[in-house]
């Protein structure tokens, strides 16, 4: 897919990965319809991008909540109006901590935003995408959609589900013009990860990537058409091993369980 012919509807555009990815795609020459929940934030972001030299004709925005049916239908209409041929799912909610400490309503919200809403938005846009000569649906998941990690049972469930949905849909649409792609970043250095997650990552030696690295990986995925790609080593290796023999990794997460049981303030103090 040539960048000059690429028109992306991108959810989660105001987040850490989303903002960086939107700008990177615009710099490549794509047109981007940025979707987020705050109209003023999106307008400021579009103005910032224009000040960096991005033509106003290639940066658009639409304030919408992907969890609302009417908003999803409005996005489908806007995508048709702007002739979007790439649907990039970047919106998501974080969830971290022991399952017994979480609120039931938070569990439901994470699954709705991270899994159900992308499925529903895909369903809303798919009939038109299938009429195009070539189109893409790109899911930004997580390496935690391939490895079950202590502390991320709810978030991981949403990303395992998203990964499975993308895989099944890819096979379902294999004979048509719509290519389905999935990318699984590892921990990324953005505000998406709160202090508790940062302390957990420090205590467990978890590596992280800069948002720009993830943005570049998403662009490469769109360029080369790969079905799916996981980011980071040893995460890619661990994901493959977990897929082959999941129980082999069960004993590898003692340090993670210990960190999960320790308050974030104590973890921070232990590292200073």
Query: Where do the structural domains in the chain lie, given as residue ranges?
Result: 3-270
Instruction: Write the pLDDT tens digit of every residue in 208-257.
Output: 899 999 999 999 999 999 999 999 988 888 999 999 999 999 999 999 99
Q: What are phi and psi of 95, to 5 degrees?
A: -155, 125
Average pLDDT over the chain, rounded to an integer: 93
Q: What is the DSSP string of 75-86?
A: HHHHHHHTT--E
Q: What is the pLDDT of residue 263?
A: 59
What is the bridge-based pairing of β-strands 59-63 and 31-36? Answer: parallel
Cis check for the bond before 234: say yes or no (omega within 30 of 0): yes
What is the bridge-based pairing of β-strands 7-11 and 31-36? Answer: parallel
Per-residue pLDDT, averaged over 199-204, amounts to: 91
Q: What is the pLDDT of residue 208?
A: 86
Instruction: Report the alpha-carbon distance of residue 110 to residue 101 in Å, rounded.
Output: 15
Say what angle helices 104-111 and 153-172 make with each other, to 10 degrees. 20
Name the more confident of 79 and 209. 79
Q: Which CATH architecture has domain 3-270?
A: 3-Layer(aba) Sandwich (3.40)
To the question of pTM greater than 0.85 for the whole model, the response is yes
Instruction: Report the alpha-carbon distance of residue 13 to residue 37 in Å, rounded.
Output: 9
Per-residue pLDDT, averaged over 170-198, amounts to: 94
Size of the chain, expressed as the number of residues it contains: 272
Are the C-beta atoms of 66 and 75 separated by less than 8 Å?
yes
Instruction: Report the alpha-carbon distance of residue 99 to residue 157 in Å, rounded.
Output: 12
- Report residue 200 as tokens: 């957990």
């Amino acid at each position: 897919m040539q960048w000059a012919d690429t028109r992306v509807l991108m959810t989660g555009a105001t987040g850490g990965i989303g903002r960086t990815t939107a700008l990177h795609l615009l710099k490549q020459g794509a047109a981007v319809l940025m979707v987020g929940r705050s109209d003023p934030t999106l307008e400021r972001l579009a103005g910032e991008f224009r000040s960096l030299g991005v033509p106003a004709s290639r940066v658009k925005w639409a304030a919408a909540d992907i969890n609302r049916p009417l908003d999803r239908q409005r996005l489908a209409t806007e995508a048709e109006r702007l002739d979007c041929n790439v649907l990039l799912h970047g919106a998501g909610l974080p969830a971290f901590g022991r399952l017994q400490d979480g609120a039931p309503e938070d569990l439901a919200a994470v699954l709705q935003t991270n899994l159900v809403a992308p499925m529903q938005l895909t369903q809303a846009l798919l009939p038109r995408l299938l009429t195009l000569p070539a189109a893409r649906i790109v899911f930004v998941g997580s390496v935690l959609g391939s490895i079950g990690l202590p502390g991320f049972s709810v978030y991981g469930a949403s990303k395992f589900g998203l990964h499975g949905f993308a895989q099944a849909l890819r096979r379902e649409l294999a004979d048509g013009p719509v290519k389905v792609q999935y990318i699984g970043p590892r921990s990324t250095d953005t505000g998406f990860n709160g202090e508790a997650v940062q302390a957990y990552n420090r205590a467990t030696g978890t590596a992280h990537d800069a948002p720009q690295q993830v943005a570049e990986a998403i662009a490469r995925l769109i360029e080369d058409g790969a079905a799916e790609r996981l980011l980071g080593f040893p995460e890619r290796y661990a994901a493959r091993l977990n897929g082959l023999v999941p129980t082999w990794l069960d004993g590898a997460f003692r340090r993670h369980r210990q960190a999960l049981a320790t308050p974030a303030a104590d973890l921070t103090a232990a590292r200073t």
